[in-house]
Amino acid sequence: MVSNRALAEALFQLAESYPPGDVRLAFLRAAYAVFDDPKEVATARHLPAGIPFEVLPTVSLLARCRGEDALTAAAARFAGAYSGHRQRLSRQGFFSAAEVLALPVEELARKLRGAVHFHTRASDGSASLEAMAHALRRRGYFWAVITDHTQGLACVNGMDSRALELQRRAVARWNERHGEELELVCGVEAEILEDGRLDVPRGHRQGLLVVAGVHTGLTSTRDQTSRLLRALEEPGVFALAHPKGRLFARRPGIRANWERVFATAAAAGVLVEINGFPRRQDVDPTLAKLALDMGCNFVLGSDAHHPRHLAFDRWALAIATVAGIPQERIVNFQPFSGALGAWERMS
């Protein structure tokens, strides 16, 4: 039986063997449909919805291959001759949806107490703070840190100091009314600038939980260790968000000496985020294991931009499980006081 991961990869490679155009697009859409399908296609009765009609017979034939060698041989028959850009590297170390959901992630998710890293309409999310908070409550969380983008991000609708003040008030209002059920904490996802400083000046970070991440220079091949080390030394950084900045089938992420980065994070008490957004899956299990060995503690983030995305904590749980990270090293499993008590006293 071929896995969705292998089948999707074969379809991506088929897509890349054609020049930009209809055939390429059809194979690409099929690849994503397979990769995101919650069930292994080889054992399912129907192919996933969303596979374009013109490539259905090909996908169906490939899905019935008995193993990866047979798959490679069968795929070769449909390949085009185009030798343009290949993105294979940027797809390595990602779980397919079916792989994630085959792990005991639902069971683990029931033990999660806190959520960190999600967005609302105050930046580039699509739901209000109240809608996200109610969704979190329904999912059984007891505390949550809201982390909208700040204005340093040129690409998104980041918050300025006025928007941030409004959000602080909205968080306080929520806590007055619903804090017993779900305690919200006001945070930000700050940008790590080129020189490693943050786009939120120190004076504005008071009482604000800061997760910091890189969103620029992500396709550069230069080593960015010093940028990350400088950011980890900034006072009040709670977590390093999506450390690599990789994006599935787009870019493999930044280059850095991860041993040094994680050793510094561990020494500074900065958590390493395992970002579960399926197109990010940042860090992968190998890098997560390295961080574990360097003494880091972790935070799982869904990076949700919609209530539906809150389920992406399953992807983070899958990475943590495969990397062998014990629950006591992950703040999301702790009650509010354990997870955020030290941060609250410092801020």
Minimum distance from residue 189 beta carbon to Zn ion (Å): 5
119 token code pair: 């967005």
Per-residue binder mask for Zn ion (CB under 5 A), 246-285, x = binder: ----------------------------------------
The binder of Zn ion chosen from 93, 125, 158, 213 (CB under 5 A): 213
Minimum distance from residue 287 beta carbon to Zn ion (Å): 17
Task: Kindly identify the residues of this chain, within the stretch 285-344, that bind Zn ion according to CB under 5 A.
Answer: 303
Q: Residues touching Zn ion: how many (CB under 5 A)?
A: 3
Task: Kindly identify the residues of this chain, within the stretch 176-195, that bind Zn ion according to CB under 5 A.
Answer: 189
- Judge whether 214 and 192 are in contact, CB under 8 Å: yes
Closest CA to 200 of 163, 166, 225: 163
Minimum distance from residue 213 beta carbon to Zn ion (Å): 5
Closest to Zn ion by CB, 71 or 291 = 291
Write the single-letter amino acid at 231: A
Minimum distance from residue 242 beta carbon to Zn ion (Å): 6
Considering all CA atoms of the chain, what is the largest pairwise distance in Å, rounded to the nearest integer?
64
Number of residues that make up the chain: 347
Closest CA to 68 of 6, 4, 5: 6
232 token code pair: 């980890």
Closest to Zn ion by CB, 40 or 189 = 189
Task: Kindly identify the residues of this chain, within the stretch 69-98, that bind Zn ion according to CB under 5 A.
Answer: none
Measured from the Cβ of residue 337, the count of other Cβ atoms closer than 10 Å reads 10
Closest CA to 167 of 207, 111, 197, 136: 207
Closest to Zn ion by CB, 149 or 314 = 149
Minimum distance from residue 178 beta carbon to Zn ion (Å): 23
Closest to Zn ion by CB, 174 or 312 = 312
- Judge whether 187 and 206 are in contact, CB under 8 Å: no
Per-residue binder mask for Zn ion (CB under 5 A), 141-180, x = binder: ----------------------------------------
Closest to Zn ion by CB, 246 or 314 = 246
- Matching residue, tokens 């039986």: 1
Q: State how far the Cα of 126 lies from the Cα of 36, in Å rounded to an integer.
A: 21
Minimum distance from residue 309 beta carbon to Zn ion (Å): 10
- Judge whether 150 and 186 are in contact, CB under 8 Å: no
Closest to Zn ion by CB, 37 or 303 = 303
Q: State how far the Cα of 282 lies from the Cα of 248, in Å rounded to an integer.
A: 10
Contacts of 176 (CB under 8 A, 6+ apart): none
Minimum distance from residue 185 beta carbon to Zn ion (Å): 15
Q: State how far the Cα of 269 lies from the Cα of 157, in Å rounded to an integer.
A: 30
Minimum distance from residue 158 beta carbon to Zn ion (Å): 11
Q: Which stretch binds Zn ion (CB under 5 A): 65-73, 206-214, 221-229, 259-267?
A: 206-214
Closest CA to 299 of 286, 316, 287: 316
Closest to Zn ion by CB, 189 or 313 = 189
Closest to Zn ion by CB, 37 or 148 = 148
Q: Which residues bind Zn ion (CB under 5 A)?
A: 189, 213, 303
